[in-house]
Amino acid sequence: MRGLVDRLTTVSFRSGVPPLYLPRLRHRLLAVSLLYVITAYSLQYAFELFSHLAGARHLSTSGRVALTGFKELVCLLVVAAYVIWRRIPWARLGVNTPRRWRALHLLWLPALYGSLWIDTLFPSSAMGRSVGVEAWRLTPVLLFSNLMVGAYEELVSRGVALYETQELGPLRAALFSAAIFGAAHLVNLTHASPGRTLVQVLYTFLLGLGFAAVRLRTNTLWPLILIHGLIDFGHDLGSSQAGGPGLGAPVLTSSFLDDVKQTFPAALACLPLGLYGLFLLRPKALRRGLPG
């Protein structure tokens, strides 16, 4: 037993984690995982059940989008309750004032991803032609819904998860937050094919890694909330057809491999963002420490 304790403490020193903090770190990892289970899974199923019992399928498209936004708002409030219960300073999560922000030029790549949807504003463009009139009428409620998604997912992933795992060091904490952020999208197996869902887990991991690195280097969460919301908004708007936004069940292809091949370009598109995250958290870039 003594040898086991010695090995554990030695490993913790090598990884930069003080031995006395090892049990606390395990508890924090469990707490963050449970927070994801409660919000991304339990509340998701609860709202689906509520929607079914309340006859939400008879709601208008705007009503269904608004209901989704309300669900994300409830998830956001649950995460906020956790922050208050743990007495975590909001500034340590990146929810702070501009005077604490640093190196905002590092936001250029996430901002580029968030601006790709702007092509839909021009009717003469390919994406602009694919957006139906009904989708433009839904713009206010789509913005509300997707900004709620951005606020909830950024607060729990790049706020709470990074804070609770800071003892791991910047890179390991970023990898953990990205992994749990990607795994949270497994909930989409309830309405999407396994192939599409697994690819989504991959590209959300890459996106999460890039966002986590930018969050740590810039010391702010606010721009990432906006960018995340705009990315999701552009996805909903850009995937629309003449009949309205593609908010229903996805079109399934004939096989698992076909679904993977069809959606894998999205993972390739997010690869530069994942590599960007690794670049920002390289040892040379962290010699001066992170802003706090």
Q: How many domains does the chain have?
A: 1
Per-residue pLDDT, averaged over 178-199, amounts to: 89
Q: Band of the pLDDT at 249, cuts 50, 70, 90?
A: very low
Query: Which pLDDT belongs to residue 248?
Result: 42
Model confidence at 265: pLDDT above 50: yes
Residue 282 in any domain: the answer is yes
Model confidence at 2: pLDDT above 80: no
What is the length of the chain? 292
Task: Decide if 229 contacts 146 (C-beta within 8 A).
Answer: yes
Q: Band of the pLDDT at 88, cuts 50, 70, 90?
A: very high
Rg (CA), the chain: 20
Q: Band of the pLDDT at 132, cuts 50, 70, 90?
A: low
Residue 35 in any domain: the answer is yes
Mean pLDDT rounded to a whole number for the chain: 80
Domain of 115, in residue numbers: 17-286
Residue 8 in any domain: the answer is no
Residue 208 in any domain: the answer is yes
Residue 120 in any domain: the answer is yes
Rounded CA gap, 84 and 90, in Å? 9
Rounded CA gap, 223 and 135, in Å? 25
Residue 29 in any domain: the answer is yes
